[in-house]
Amino acid sequence: MTEEIATKIVLAARPKGKPTEADFRIERTPIPQPGTHELLLRTRYLSLDPYMRGRMDDRKSYATPLQIGDVMTGESVAEVVISHVPALAPGDLVLAETGWQTHYLSDGKALRKLDHRATPVTTALGVLGMPGFTAYSGLRFIGQPKPGETVVVAAASGPVGSLVGQLAKLSGARAIGIAGGADKCKYVKGVLGFDEAVNHKSASFSEELALACPSGIDVYFENVGGIIWQAVLPLLNKFARVPVCGLIAQYNGVSNDDRNNTVAATMREVLTRSLTLRGFLNSEFLKYYPDFLTEVGDALRAGKIKYREDVVDGIENAPEAFMGMLEGRNHGKLIIKVS
Amino acid sequence: MTEEIATKIVLAARPKGKPTEADFRIERTPIPQPGTHELLLRTRYLSLDPYMRGRMDDRKSYATPLQIGDVMTGESVAEVVISHVPALAPGDLVLAETGWQTHYLSDGKALRKLDHRATPVTTALGVLGMPGFTAYSGLRFIGQPKPGETVVVAAASGPVGSLVGQLAKLSGARAIGIAGGADKCKYVKGVLGFDEAVNHKSASFSEELALACPSGIDVYFENVGGIIWQAVLPLLNKFARVPVCGLIAQYNGVSNDDRNNTVAATMREVLTRSLTLRGFLNSEFLKYYPDFLTEVGDALRAGKIKYREDVVDGIENAPEAFMGMLEGRNHGKLIIKVS
């Protein structure tokens, strides 16, 4: 099984929009030899994931971009071939950040040893790996579906989406999957057990999604963006939660020109900087009103809080004052002295 | 002081963009007489607030829209003139939803009696009223500034913004205010004690904001939207929180055509439905990885979780498989069998 040479796939050029063959290059080198305290790994299974598209751009994201000529990033199930590290022996299987290449030298520190007797090793790249953990953590810590609520996820037949829906079902929520094509929809509903699956390639997709969510959407697990987000937005219920873990529909699409003026740009920042955007009405927190009156009232009386009022005389002047306020012409709290 | 007639200002027409005089109408009627168990209130101070603009549109928001001919919505400090309710006597001052009118009949239930000895009664409409509580609750429960963090708020000289910044300072954060014009900026920094004030009417506003926030922005209290949001977005730090309580810059501006494809539309939904958009990377939750492996691993082995893999043979085929995945051509977790 040992190859004579190592093969690696490097970034040859930065994609403009969709990547093409020309953006990748295959390189062949001699198999590297491990130094003292090093291991030689042979990649068995390489995981391909949408986030890799982001690394190909020369743009600050949550990770450092690849440089031209770098081996493409990627996580693998790899086998130890030569070990100068006590904890691992030839034949052991590990999870490793090998990148897109057949051989990899490691100091053993960032490796997780896999137990292939418990579950098939490839699950460590999917349902029991980073994609699965993304589904789990986003749903558990941000989405927090309650029994009876409606959870929607796109790319529902994919590794993240398929687990999101199944975990939603296990927590007593309704799960609606969005997928591209009748086959994927059939799998999502028939095999994964989602309550409904909606085909985003359908001409009446928005209407079908609305029909599948008669009580609106309480959790939308966002991993696609673009037109899916446009269809979901009007269906979101009050207090809906939107964990944003990916925007695959936008990865090939947002140019730098768009960055400052599109919803895609906002969503991209939400994603890459783990932002929290949270709409609210103060009525939601009304039980804390007495605390507010005490704290801010005391601070006000102690001179620690200043305020200013802009008092306009006469109710007849309310419309003009109101119009001015919308353009920022007042200074301080606008109040009409009526009588 | 008692008027001979009552004056009210009603919605005469729905504004197209900015409201104009023609959208309001003054009506005069006899003073209404309270029935059994009713009170007659006379409005003393009427509060004008940006949210009222939203009520003028015929569009579902967090509150029912006004109908043509309805009295404009509004909260007031009012005086009891006639009382058939035991708890309140003539001369008492109350906080009431009178709307834009001089007289109002109430059953006494939704009134809050004000103590004018503690603080000036008008503060109940501003710093110690709903605007103040909006600042308090959004900052306390969503923004959660920590000592040393940077908090930015727009409309910083207004009733919400001025308290946001001062509360941020009291909690040990840096406060940066955005305001329109040199006078307001001088007030924000000189009187309210913000660390910096930035004039959004300046031609170099974005650059000045960036200079005022050398460590980026940890909390942006959003009450303006539009171009201010565009300037703030690139400065937000990882894990920044954006409580969204208003979008005054957009109230006159978003047409129905824009609703489905602008960032303004997304922000509007965040606001009106109290949505939470939360970007994340699973690495943020890494300490729960063992829980995940146990829970999902057990469910998988028990057959409660299904998964599917799409295995492509040969590392040379990784680029093509990757390009296909970005277009949704695979079905299940995409894995390259390397060796």
DSSP letters for B263-287:
HHHHHHHHHHTT-EEEE--GGGGGG
Q: Are strands A196-199 and A217-221 parallel, antiparallel or unpaired?
A: unpaired
Q: Are A164 and A193 in contact (CB under 8 A)?
A: no
B21 inside 8 A of chain A by CB = yes
Distance from CA of A178 to the nearest CA of B (A): 12
In the prediction, which pLDDT does B249 show?
67
B45 neighbourhood in chain A, CB within 8 Å: 311, 335-338
Strands of chain B (E only): list them.
Answer: 5-11, 24-30, 39-47, 76-83, 93-96, 103-106, 112-113, 150-153, 174-179, 196-199, 217-221, 236-244, 276-279, 309-313, 333-337
Can you tell me the distance from the alpha carbon of A213 to that of A209, in angstroms, rounded to the nearest whole number?
6
Ranges of chain B with pLDDT below 70: 1-3, 60-62, 249-262
Residues 6+ apart with CB under 8 A from B195: B169, B174, B175, B176, B189, B212
In the prediction, which pLDDT does B260 show?
39
In the prediction, which pLDDT does A258 show?
45
The single residue listed with the structure tokens 């001088």 is B186
Question: Can you give the pTM of this predicted structure?
Answer: 0.84
Q: Which of A23-37, A45-59, A167-181 has the lowest mean pLDDT?
A: A45-59
In the prediction, which pLDDT does A279 show?
86
Residue ranges covered by each domain of chain A: 5-126+308-337, 130-283
In the prediction, which pLDDT does B119 show?
85
Distance from CA of A58 to the nearest CA of B (A): 16
The confidence band for A123, taking pLDDT boundaries of 50, 70 and 90, is very high
The confidence band for A283, taking pLDDT boundaries of 50, 70 and 90, is confident
Put simply, the answer to whether A339 touches B7 (Cβ < 8 Å) is no
In the prediction, which pLDDT does A79 show?
96
Task: Say what the ipTM of the complex is.
Answer: 0.81
| Residue A200 pLDDT exceeds 90 | yes
A27 neighbourhood in chain B, CB within 8 Å: none
The confidence band for A171, taking pLDDT boundaries of 50, 70 and 90, is very high
Choose among B191, B229, B278: nearest Cβ to A276: B278
A69 inside 8 A of chain B by CB = no
What whole-number percentage of chain A has pLDDT above 90? 65
| Residue A225 pLDDT exceeds 80 | no
Choose among B102, B245, B333: nearest Cβ to A315: B102
Q: What is the pLDDT of residues A293-326, one digit of tens each?
A: 898 989 888 999 889 899 999 999 999 999 998 8
| Residue A90 pLDDT exceeds 90 | yes
B52 neighbourhood in chain A, CB within 8 Å: 322
B272 neighbourhood in chain A, CB within 8 Å: 279
Identify the residue among B71, B127, B142 best suited for mutation to test binding to A, counting A beta carbons within 10 A and taking the highest: B127
Can you tell me the distance from the alpha carbon of A95 to that of B70, in angstroms, rounded to the nearest whole number?
67
Can you tell me the distance from the alpha carbon of A26 to that of B315, in angstroms, rounded to the nearest whole number?
9
Give the residue among B71, B52, B69, B74 at the shortest CA–CA distance from B61: B52
Can you tell me the distance from the alpha carbon of B187 to that of B178, in angstroms, rounded to the nearest whole number?
11
Put simply, the answer to whether A45 touches B230 (Cβ < 8 Å) is no
Interface A:B, Cβ pairs < 8 A: 453
**B5-126+308-337 CATH, one of 3.90.180.10, 3.40.640.10, 3.30.360.10, 3.30.470.20:** 3.90.180.10
| Residue A253 pLDDT exceeds 60 | no
DSSP letters for A111-169:
-EE--TTTS-GGGGGTTTSHHHHHHHHIIIIII-PPTT-EEEESSTTSHHHHHHHHHHH
Can you tell me the distance from the alpha carbon of A8 to that of A30, in angstroms, rounded to the nearest whole number?
11
pLDDT greater at residue A246 or residue A130: A130
Choose among A48, A191, A318: nearest Cβ to B336: A48
Can you tell me the distance from the alpha carbon of A152 to that of A56, in angstroms, rounded to the nearest whole number?
29
Core vs surface per residue B33-45: b (16+ CB within 10 A) or e = ebeeebbbbbbbb
The confidence band for A1, taking pLDDT boundaries of 50, 70 and 90, is very low
Can you tell me the distance from the alpha carbon of B186 to that of B193, in angstroms, rounded to the nearest whole number?
10
B207 neighbourhood in chain A, CB within 8 Å: none
A29 inside 8 A of chain B by CB = no
In the prediction, which pLDDT does B256 show?
42
In the prediction, which pLDDT does B264 show?
72
Architecture of domain A130-283: 3-Layer(aba) Sandwich (3.40)
Q: What is the pLDDT of residues B175-229, one digit of tens each?
A: 999 999 999 999 999 999 999 999 999 999 999 999 999 999 999 998 887 778 8
B112: three-class secondary structure by DSSP: strand
